[in-house]
């Protein structure tokens, strides 16, 4: 039996320490156990990452205690953490922390226990009852409530019997009831009932897709299935039935959903089919709820987990299936260390756990489609909507012609206004999409051209009308609107708002259609708990005619009465300094268009743009994914961008531009000799977002066909290089963000 344990400690990053396991704890310490150890002058908590028979160094300190009997982290999850640390160049300790939610790790995390009251035999004895009624009417009243309603929590019982906890303890003393501590699980979905649903018979295309996934479940060939299905083609139904197959095989499942698509409607579909077997993990849960949900999974009570990217680490027993819905979504990437992509982690976990992985999307990422072409993933297709509902027709509105005809640039084209009016007359619903919240993007002085900028970030401030202030969307800084232009030589009072935000769309719509019921949904209107749910509920119930929103309304929503979707400006996402701008625009337009015509009525989509002939917009108009990616693949291949290479972005931040440039150049000097000929290096250069939160930002970009070709030399160089104290360096492997 092993006498020593290698431990990583919460407080010390990227180092491991060896401890002796005292005789008394030998049976309790496993790989993955959480232990209490002497550390420096005090105590610390850590995780056992390996057991050793012998160590080279004498005089080791001893482990003091073990928290819990079961290992909290499985060996597989530690292997996964090791892979993450390695692949994403992150400290191992941070990777281990990532596989364990803080709600479980923290010292204070625990179950709540409550006092439960149950009746005893004596309470059925008529003579004893009679005596009680006579001498202690309050106690008798409490007992009556209990006899009528069954076991209850002590404080609830005292409340409903209009008496005190003391009276109930009195009942216990007399032997009428028994009080015991019960574990109370905080259920985030308590008070919500879900109608149970039955699996409908599948359409032939769904049947074929399910067959491929079942084969993967049973034989692990193919290990990964890309489920490419147009919006409304019934992908979710395929997931549900695949999960059912996993359950029948005695296996559990994880379903990853982008955070913003984790709507009540989505949860309802899984809870409705599988009831209490489903645990939901998401960021709106309290620490306590998260702790309890995690343990419901860890104890095998819940076998299915639905959640955003961190749910990929859920401790599901005997995992049989991982589904990644909307696998192309950038929100699967964590923007802090370890900068993992949950989709890719899902594939790796699938390999380690020997379970099937399904990646689903109407617009798969180029990376995933490339893996199909390379034969790594199998492809299952759902080319048509359920019940042969028609795909919406997409019209591109050329805003240049519109501007010429009207003699000015309007926000709403005539065509879109007419289309909205028609929907109001027919009592059908409209969704309008704009990817920027706030009222106007900028405050501009028409005389001297001054634009109100954030003091600490290199971006223009956004005007918010409801609070009448300027807000930085990077750092959150707020500022009053100046009364006149601050330029000393100008001081003109006639400030103008330029650009667009969802608030402004709302104001204009009220003017255009005074009778229409208009609601806006973006991160400004959904800060209150439950507001998200309420807006969607009202929209579904027909209490709203027009819903305006940011990308929050682009995904996963299914409203059969929506027959019109308007994209106010497709240009906004198209002209970002990012090689994925076309792909993102195409995905966004396709997703948004997918909200239209999901019922029996055909949907119509209007896309307003000043660049109508852009390939991404034309492809979205034709709903032509294959055509789009063929063209896009060519462009990426020519420029050696992903999926033909892996992209690693180093970002340097600091207060001095010169020092950043200098340190960056020094680093590159040391890195360059270690790089093979396949690696393309650019920089150091100022990042597209050149300044944020008061710090300058520089970037170094590295690309190579294999990640290791970049990360191995990078690890060596980073290990030997000392950054000046005032410079912070972060590494993003398979970066999705170029800002």
Alpha carbons 286 and 384: distance in angstroms, whole number: 40
Shortest distance in whole angstroms from residue 454 CB to Zn ion? 3
Under rule CB under 5 A, which residues in 170-209 are in contact with Zn ion? none
The DSSP element (H or E) to which 697 belongs, if any, is strand 695-704
Residue from 237, 289, 292, 506 that binds ligand ADP (CB under 6 A)? Answer: 237
What are the φ and ψ backbone dihedral angles of 316, each rounded to 5 degrees?
Answer: -70, 135
All residues at 6 or more sequence positions from 472 whose CB lies less than 8 Å from its CB, including other chains: 454, 456, 457, 459, 461, 462, 478
Q: Which stretch binds ligand ADP (CB under 6 A): 165-173, 229-237, 396-404, 528-536?
A: 229-237
All residues at 6 or more sequence positions from 68 whose CB lies less than 8 Å from its CB, including other chains: 33, 34
The entry of Zn ion, ligand ADP, none near residue 48 (CB within 5 to 8 angstroms by kind) is none
The entry of ligand ADP, Zn ion, none near residue 477 (CB within 5 to 8 angstroms by kind) is Zn ion
Q: Smallest Cα–Cα separation from 242: which of 270, 269, 211?
A: 211
Per-residue mark of binding to Zn ion, 419-458 (x: CB under 5 A): -----------------------------------x-xx-
Q: With beta carbons less than 8 A apart as the criterion, state whether 463 and 439 touch.
A: yes
The entry of Zn ion, ligand ADP, none near residue 472 (CB within 5 to 8 angstroms by kind) is Zn ion
Q: Which residue, 386 or 445, is less far from ligand ADP as judged by CB? A: 386
235 lies in the binding site for ligand ADP (CB under 6 A): yes
Handedness of CA 691, 697, 700, 703 (dihedral sign): negative
Residue from 132, 154, 171, 386 that binds ligand ADP (CB under 6 A)? Answer: 386
Burial class (CB in 10 A: 0-12, 13-18, 19+), 107: exposed
Q: Which residue, 242 or 452, is less far from Zn ion as judged by CB? A: 452
Q: Which residue, 146 or 225, is less far from ligand ADP as judged by CB? A: 225
Q: Smallest Cα–Cα separation from 553: which of 509, 521, 527?
A: 521
The entry of ligand ADP, Zn ion, none near residue 454 (CB within 5 to 8 angstroms by kind) is Zn ion
Crossing angle for the helix pair 366-373 and 625-639, to the nearest 10 degrees:
90
Residue from 33, 233, 245, 525 that binds ligand ADP (CB under 6 A)? Answer: 233
C-alpha angle with apex 727: 725 to 728, nearest 5 degrees? 110
Alpha carbons 512 and 201: distance in angstroms, whole number: 45
Handedness of CA 33, 34, 40, 41 (dihedral sign): negative
Residue from 46, 170, 222, 232 that binds ligand ADP (CB under 6 A)? Answer: 232
Residue from 188, 222, 234, 654 that binds ligand ADP (CB under 6 A)? Answer: 234
Burial class (CB in 10 A: 0-12, 13-18, 19+), 166: exposed
413 lies in the binding site for ligand ADP (CB under 6 A): no
Q: Smallest Cα–Cα separation from 40: which of 70, 65, 15, 11?
A: 11
All residues at 6 or more sequence positions from 157 whose CB lies less than 8 Å from its CB, including other chains: 117, 142, 145, 146, 168
136 lies in the binding site for Zn ion (CB under 5 A): no
Sheet arrangement for strand 478-480: 462-464, 469-471, 478-480
Residue from 206, 363, 582, 709 that binds ligand ADP (CB under 6 A)? Answer: 206
The entry of ligand ADP, Zn ion, none near residue 72 (CB within 5 to 8 angstroms by kind) is none
471 lies in the binding site for Zn ion (CB under 5 A): no
Q: Which residue, 674 or 693, is less far from Zn ion as judged by CB? A: 693
Q: Smallest Cα–Cα separation from 470: which of 447, 450, 488?
A: 450
477 lies in the binding site for Zn ion (CB under 5 A): yes
Shortest distance in whole angstroms from residue 323 CB to ligand ADP? 11
What are the φ and ψ backbone dihedral angles of 451, each rounded to 5 degrees?
Answer: -120, 130
Residue from 22, 38, 137, 200 that binds ligand ADP (CB under 6 A)? Answer: 200
Q: Which stretch binds ligand ADP (CB under 6 A): 123-131, 228-236, 516-524, 645-653?
A: 228-236
Q: Which stretch binds Zn ion (CB under 5 A): 39-47, 321-329, 476-484, 649-657?
A: 476-484
CA dihedral 67, 68, 71, 72 (to 10 degrees): -80
Q: Which stretch binds ligand ADP (CB under 6 A): 170-178, 226-234, 401-409, 447-455?
A: 226-234
Q: Which stretch binds Zn ion (CB under 5 A): 280-288, 378-386, 473-481, 556-564?
A: 473-481
Shortest distance in whole angstroms from residue 696 CB to Zn ion? 13
475 lies in the binding site for Zn ion (CB under 5 A): yes
449 lies in the binding site for ligand ADP (CB under 6 A): no
Q: Which stretch binds ligand ADP (CB under 6 A): 233-241, 365-373, 397-405, 727-735?
A: 233-241
The entry of Zn ion, ligand ADP, none near residue 386 (CB within 5 to 8 angstroms by kind) is ligand ADP
Q: Which stretch binds ligand ADP (CB under 6 A): 230-238, 390-398, 534-542, 702-710?
A: 230-238
Q: Which residue, 23 or 207, is less far from ligand ADP as judged by CB? A: 207
Shortest distance in whole angstroms from residue 154 CB to ligand ADP? 44
236 lies in the binding site for ligand ADP (CB under 6 A): yes
Q: Which residue, 386 or 735, is less far from ligand ADP as judged by CB? A: 386
Shortest distance in whole angstroms from residue 736 CB to ligand ADP? 23
Under rule CB under 6 A, which residues in 545-574 are in contact with ligand ADP? 558
55 lies in the binding site for Zn ion (CB under 5 A): no
Q: Which residue, 202 or 581, is less far from ligand ADP as judged by CB? A: 202
Beta-carbon neighbour count of residue 405 at 10 Å?
11
Alpha carbons 383 and 443: distance in angstroms, whole number: 46
Ranges of beta strands (E only) in 62-159 are 65-67, 112-119, 152-153
Q: Which residue, 233 or 550, is less far from ligand ADP as judged by CB? A: 233
What is the three-class DSSP state of 702? strand
Alpha carbons 259 and 269: distance in angstroms, whole number: 16
603 lies in the binding site for ligand ADP (CB under 6 A): no
Considering only CA atoms, give the Rg of the chain.
30
Q: Which residues partner with 142 through β-bridges?
A: none
Shortest distance in whole angstroms from residue 19 CB to ligand ADP? 50
Q: Which residues partner with 606 through β-bridges?
A: 395, 566
Q: Which residue, 502 or 563, is less far from ligand ADP as judged by CB? A: 563
202 lies in the binding site for ligand ADP (CB under 6 A): yes
Q: Which residues partner with 471 through β-bridges?
A: 462, 478
Shortest distance in whole angstroms from residue 393 CB to ligand ADP? 18
Residue from 229, 307, 597, 642 that binds ligand ADP (CB under 6 A)? Answer: 229
Q: Which residue, 81 or 359, is less far from ligand ADP as judged by CB? A: 359
Which alpha helices (DSSP H) does 390-501 contain, by range?
399-406, 414-426
Q: Which residue, 237 or 292, is less far from ligand ADP as judged by CB? A: 237
Three-state SS string over 223-265 comes to CEEEEEECCCCCHHHHHHHHHHHHHHCCCEEEEECCHHHCCHH
The DSSP element (H or E) to which 307 belongs, if any, is strand 304-307
Tell me the two tokens of residue 145. 């409530």
Which alpha helices (DSSP H) does 334-413 contain, by range?
342-353, 366-373, 399-406
Q: Which residue, 58 or 204, is less far from ligand ADP as judged by CB? A: 204
Q: Which stretch binds Zn ion (CB under 5 A): 466-474, 547-555, 606-614, 666-674?
A: 466-474
Sheet arrangement for strand 65-67: 16-20, 4-9, 42-52, 34-39, 65-67
Which residues make up the interface to Zn ion (CB under 5 A)?
A: 454, 456-457, 472, 474-475, 477
**Which residues sit at the interface with ligand ADP, rule CB under 6 A?**
200, 202-203, 206, 229, 231-237, 386, 558
């Amino acid at each position: 039996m092993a006498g020593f344990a290698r431990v990583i400690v919460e407080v010390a990053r990227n180092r491991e320490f060896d401890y002796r396991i005292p005789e008394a704890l030998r049976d309790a310490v496993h790989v993955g156990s959480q232990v209490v150890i002497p550390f420096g002058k005090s105590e610390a908590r850590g995780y056992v990452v390996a057991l050793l028979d012998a160590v080279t160094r004498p005089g080791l300190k001893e482990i003091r205690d073990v928290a819990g009997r079961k290992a909290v982290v499985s060996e597989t999850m530690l292997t996964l953490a090791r892979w993450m640390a390695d692949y994403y160049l992150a400290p191992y300790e941070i990777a281990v922390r990532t596989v364990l939610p803080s709600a479980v790790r923290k010292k204070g995390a625990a179950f709540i226990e409550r006092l439960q009251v149950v009746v005893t035999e004596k309470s059925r004895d008529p003579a004893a009852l009679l005596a009680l009624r006579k001498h202690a009417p309050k106690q008798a009243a409490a007992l009556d409530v209990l006899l009528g309603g069954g076991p209850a929590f002590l404080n609830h019982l005292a409340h409903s019997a209009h008496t005190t906890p003391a009276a109930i303890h009195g009942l216990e003393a007399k032997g009428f009831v028994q009080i015991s501590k019960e574990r109370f699980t905080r259920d985030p979905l308590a008070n919500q009932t879900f109608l149970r649903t039955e699996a409908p018979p599948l359409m032939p295309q769904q049947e074929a897709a399910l067959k491929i996934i079942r084969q993967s479940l049973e034989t692990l060939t193919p290990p990964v299935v890309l489920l490419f299905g147009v919006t409304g083609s019934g992908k979710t139904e395929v997931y549900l039935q695949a999960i059912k197959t996993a359950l029948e095989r005695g296996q559990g499942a994880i379903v990853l959903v982008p955070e913003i698509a984790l709507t009540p409607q989505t949860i309802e579909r899984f809870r409705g089919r599988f009831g209490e077997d489903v645990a939901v993990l998401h960021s709106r849960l309290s620490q306590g709820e998260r702790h309890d949900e995690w343990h419901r999974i860890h104890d095998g009570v819940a076998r299915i987990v639905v959640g955003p990217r961190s749910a990929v680490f859920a401790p599901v027993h005997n995992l049989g299936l991982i589904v990644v819905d909307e696998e192309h979504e950038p929100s699967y990437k964590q923007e802090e260390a370890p900068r993992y992509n949950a989709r890719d982690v899902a594939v790796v976990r699938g390999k380690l756990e020997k379970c099937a992985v399904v990646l689903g999307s109407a617009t798969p990422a180029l990376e995933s489609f490339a893996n199909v072409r390379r034969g790594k993933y199998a492809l299952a297709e759902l080319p048509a909507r359920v019940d042969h509902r028609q795909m919406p027709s997409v019209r591109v509105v050329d805003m240049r012609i519109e501007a010429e005809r009207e003699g000015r640039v309007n926000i709403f084209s005539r065509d879109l206004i007419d289309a909205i009016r028609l929907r109001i007359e027919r009592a059908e619903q409209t969704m309008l999409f704009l990817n920027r919240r706030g009222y106007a993007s900028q405050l501009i002085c028409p005389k001297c051209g001054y634009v109100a900028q954030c003091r600490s970030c290199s971006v223009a401030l956004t005007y918010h009308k409801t609070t009448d202030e300027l807000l930085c969307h990077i750092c959150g800084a707020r500022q009053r609107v100046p009364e006149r232009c601050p330029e000393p030589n100008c001081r003109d009072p006639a400030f103008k708002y330029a650009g667009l935000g969802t608030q402004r769309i709302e104001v204009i719509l009220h003017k255009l259609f005074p009778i229409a019921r208009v609601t806006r949904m973006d991160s400004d209107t959904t800060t209150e708990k439950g507001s998200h749910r309420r807006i969607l509920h009202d929209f579904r119930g027909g209490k709203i005619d027009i819903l305006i929103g940011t990308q929050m309304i682009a995904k996963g929503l299914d409203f059969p009465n929506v027959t019109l979707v308007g994209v106010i400006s497709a240009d906004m996402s198209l002209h970002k300094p990012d090689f994925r701008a076309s792909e993102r625009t195409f995905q966004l337009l396709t997703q948004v268009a997918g909200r239209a015509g999901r019922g029996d009525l055909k949907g119509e989509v209007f896309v307003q743009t000043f660049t109508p002939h852009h390939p991404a917009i034309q492809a979205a108009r034709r709903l032509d994914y294959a055509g789009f990616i063929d063209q896009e693949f060519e462009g990426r291949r020519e420029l050696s961008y992903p999926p033909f290479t892996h992209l690693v972005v180093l970002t340097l931040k600091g207060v001095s531009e010169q020092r950043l440039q200098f340190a960056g150049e020094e680093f590159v000097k040391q890195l360059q000799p270690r790089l093979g000929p396949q690696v393309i290096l650019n920089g150091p250069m100022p990042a597209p977002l050149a300044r944020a939160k008061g710090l300058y930002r520089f970037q170094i970009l590295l690309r190579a066909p294999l990640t290791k070709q970049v990360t191995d030399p990078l690890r060596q160089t980073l290990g030997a290089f000392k950054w000046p104290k005032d410079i912070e360096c972060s590494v993003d492997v398979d970066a999705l963000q170029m800002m």
